[in-house]
Structure 1
Amino acid sequence: MNKWQTLLAQPGPLMADGAMGTQLFAAGLQFGDPPETWNVLHPDVVRGIQRRYIEAGAQIVLTNTFGGSRFRLAMHNLQGRVAELNRTAAILLRAEVEASGRDVLAAGDIGPSGDILAPLGTLEYADAVAGFAEQAGALIAGGVDVIWIETMSSLEEVQAALEGVRRVSAEIPVITTLSFDTHGRTMMGVTPEQALRELTERGAAAVGANCGNGTDELLAAIQKMQAIGPRVPLVAKSNAGMPELVGGKAVYRATPDVMAGYALDVYRAGARIIGACCGSSPDHIRAMTEALRGVDLSAAPAAAHPAPEAAARTASADRAARRAARAAREAGEAEAQA
């Protein structure tokens, strides 16, 4: 078994980390500056944040690369540093994981491009695939265990990211989450049920929801996914409450105790991998970890637990990933020959 499969074989809920950006702002990152540059300018700060999440109980920790694609970095004229910033981020996290001595997965974080795919927008699908492949390749070269694609609103963009990953690796597990922040749908109209069905079919190792407008909204998304019988683990990574604009800045008021209650709610609703997003801190993750420690496993739907058929599902997902990888390579070869 690989590290992802070994983690899934453990009983009970699995803890992911919390916000990186929120913690970087608290450490001095200025609004509008690219967080990814801190991987080379302030690596000790980045590692310190990841260390505190591990100490708080996180079993999956993300790299500081949410905006590390060429599309996002181009906003700061840094598109030529994709490989450097992403590979460095992965190396930093890998070093922190190994220093912890714990069984923690290093997840390579890929966020949305910030553009809309054609024909509604200007980003061509082939360009999106190439950009995500570039970022994924650097993260994998730096030593991540899984790729974590998050905060997406378009299934076409998630597919482009998945295809980009598969051009680089046929084997690495890919976790995908979308933000259902528009009346129960994503900004592009995707429902939780649609996301789960399509991304499972495309080989995602886990599917879920993150960010959004607070814990109630995210809980509803998990409940809808659970209702149609998920074949992969569900992921819940909510913001620390509903964001409020105070002095031109987003403020999140959910306390660690409130987030501990959310963790229990989404686990009982069917989520297996549980963490937090914007506005959260290691204190939130610690409270959530403590709330879930010793939780009654019978209180959660069967899909939230390892089952005898889990190995078969994993093998099926691996086959889907290999099919996607072959298709991605063939598409890349055809594009190169055109």
Structure 2
Amino acid sequence: MHNPIDALLAEKGVLLADGATGTNLFAMGLESGEAPELWNETAPEKIEALHQGFIDAGADIILTNSFGGTRHRLKLHNAQDRVFELNRKAAEIACRVAAKAGSRVIVAGSVGPTGELLQPLGALTYEAAVEAFLEQIEGLKAGGAEVAWIETMSAPDEIRAAAEAAIRAGLPYTYTGSFDTAGRTMMGLAPKDIHAVADDLPEKPVAVGANCGVGAPDILAALLDMVEARPQATVVVKGNCGVPEFRGAEVHYSGTPELMADYVRLAVDGGARIIGGCCGTTFEHLAAMRRALDEHKKTQPPTIAEIEARVGPMRNKGAAQSGAASAPAGRRERRRGRG
């Protein structure tokens, strides 16, 4: 399989992925409960504006508007019979915008969880999950997506099912977990163990890592564990823009452009090769991240104390992993207990 990520990494060293899809589409008028994927047909100009905003801010990788693009998610909107076409259109829109960029921009096909539990915890079989992801990824590939970007995952079996679907479709793939439950995913996967999920598959991921979660400090702690576990791996972090705060009926994220810029510096120092933003990350945030990435020179990995001093306290201090394992000898420390 052609690996566009490695090719661009060889040129640039560290890549900047885009920011939040939902946050920015809500700002454009998406209603709560409405499927963003339907806008690929009904409001393609807004999806184009989303991608253009991130490219203008400096993104090297943009994700298609297809996070909930499996039949299991689209059935909630009576669109389960339109999986292929909605995903194809998502990729076509992103490719159309990327083609006009003044520099190389990779189009990655966003693949989120099905929302179903796999057996034995739920009714979804592994093979049915593979088929659902394959249907989606084939649509993304037909529209021009270069990579299957499997994200916000919790269950190892679901990651494997999506990865197997990408392999069957003939696309290189990445995957990221959301370590939002005491430093692990909701289904108990630890950051240090994420690499092994696809070890016995015939094609290995081009990158693995973490996205979403509970804020910059925690995803940076997960980064240290992932990098220590496999120092040669290409590791992704795509963290939320601060933490969510309710203001009336609306959710706002606490992160400033300055905070997200410092998150980028810490992520580079911690060994990340692909860095982006998740929930709450706007074009303004991403532009600040681009400037920080361009100006920063990598130094030694930070300790947890340094991370907390610069980007705020961790939310999951009771996690089992050290969170600072990749710090040099003499600088290591354990996460403090829950306070």
Under TM normalisation by the shorter chain, which class is it?
Answer: 0.7 to 0.9
Cα offset for 1:69? 0.7
1:63, 1:11 → 2: CA distance? 22
Q: Secondary structure at the match of 2:194?
A: helix
Letter in 2 for 1:194: D
Cα offset for 1:57? 0.7
Aligned to 2:235: 234
- The share of aligned pairs that are identical, in percent, is 45
**Larger displacement relative to structure 2 (223-232 or 65-74):** 223-232
Q: CA 1:254–1:69 in structure 2 vs 1: closer, same or farther (change >3 Å)?
A: same
Q: Secondary structure at the match of 1:129?
A: helix
Q: Secondary structure at the match of 1:92?
A: helix
Aligned to 1:275: 276
Aligned to 2:217: 216
The CA RMSD measured in Å over matched residues stands at 1.5
2:184, 2:117 → 1: CA distance? 17
Cα offset for 1:8? 1.8
For each residue in 1:257-297, what CA deviation from the matched residue of structure 2 results, as whole angstroms up to 9, or x when unmatched? 11001111111111110000001111111001101113214
Q: Secondary structure at the match of 1:93?
A: helix
Q: Does 1:166 align with 2:167?
A: yes
Larger RCO (alpha carbons 8 Å, 6+ apart): 1
Cα offset for 1:201? 5.2
1:62 touches 1:108 (CA, 8 Å); kept in 2?
yes
TM normalised by structure 2 equals 0.85
Q: Does 1:106 align with 2:107?
A: yes
2:6, 2:271 → 1: CA distance? 19
1:6, 1:189 → 2: CA distance? 33
1:18 touches 1:280 (CA, 8 Å); kept in 2?
yes
For each residue in 1:40-85, what CA deviation from the matched residue of structure 2 results, as whole angstroms up to 9, or x when unmatched? 1111110111011011110000000000111100111110110111
Q: Secondary structure at the match of 2:295?
A: coil
Residue correspondence of structure 1 range 294-333 to structure 2 within 5 A? 294-297=295-298, 299=300
Aligned to 1:136: 137
Aligned to 1:264: 265
Aligned to 2:60: 59
Letter in 2 for 1:199: A
Cα offset for 1:200? 5.2
Letter in 1 for 2:209: G
Q: Does 1:121 align with 2:116?
A: no
The total of aligned residue pairs comes to 299
Q: CA 1:201–1:192 in structure 2 vs 1: closer, same or farther (change >3 Å)?
A: farther
1:109, 1:128 → 2: CA distance? 16
Aligned to 1:28: 29
2:248, 2:198 → 1: CA distance? 39
Letter in 2 for 1:143: G
Q: Does 1:190 align with 2:189?
A: yes
**Larger displacement relative to structure 2 (248-257 or 81-90):** 248-257
Letter in 2 for 1:142: G
Letter in 2 for 1:178: G
Cα offset for 1:198? 2.7
1:129 touches 1:161 (CA, 8 Å); kept in 2?
yes
Letter in 1 for 2:220: L
For each residue in 1:216-247, what CA deviation from the matched residue of structure 2 results, as whole angstroms up to 9, or x when unmatched? 11001001111223332100100101112332
Aligned to 1:71: 72
Letter in 2 for 1:280: T
1:193, 1:299 → 2: CA distance? 20
Residue correspondence of structure 1 range 78-89 to structure 2 within 5 A? 78-89=79-90
Q: Secondary structure at the match of 1:17?
A: coil
Q: Does 1:176 align with 2:188?
A: no
2:287, 2:198 → 1: CA distance? 30
More helix, by proportion: 1
Q: Secondary structure at the match of 1:149?
A: strand
1:196 touches 1:230 (CA, 8 Å); kept in 2?
no
- Structure 1 gaps of 5+ residues are 302-338
2:43, 2:249 → 1: CA distance? 26
Cα offset for 1:299? 4.8
1:104, 1:134 → 2: CA distance? 25
Cα offset for 1:298? 5.2
Letter in 2 for 1:114: G
2:112, 2:17 → 1: CA distance? 16
For each residue in 1:167-193, what CA deviation from the matched residue of structure 2 results, as whole angstroms up to 9, or x when unmatched? 211xx2201100000010000000001
- Structure 2 gaps of 5+ residues are 303-339
2:3 touches 2:206 (CA, 8 Å); kept in 1?
no
1:249, 1:182 → 2: CA distance? 23
1:146, 1:178 → 2: CA distance? 17
Q: CA 1:243–1:19 in structure 2 vs 1: closer, same or farther (change >3 Å)?
A: same
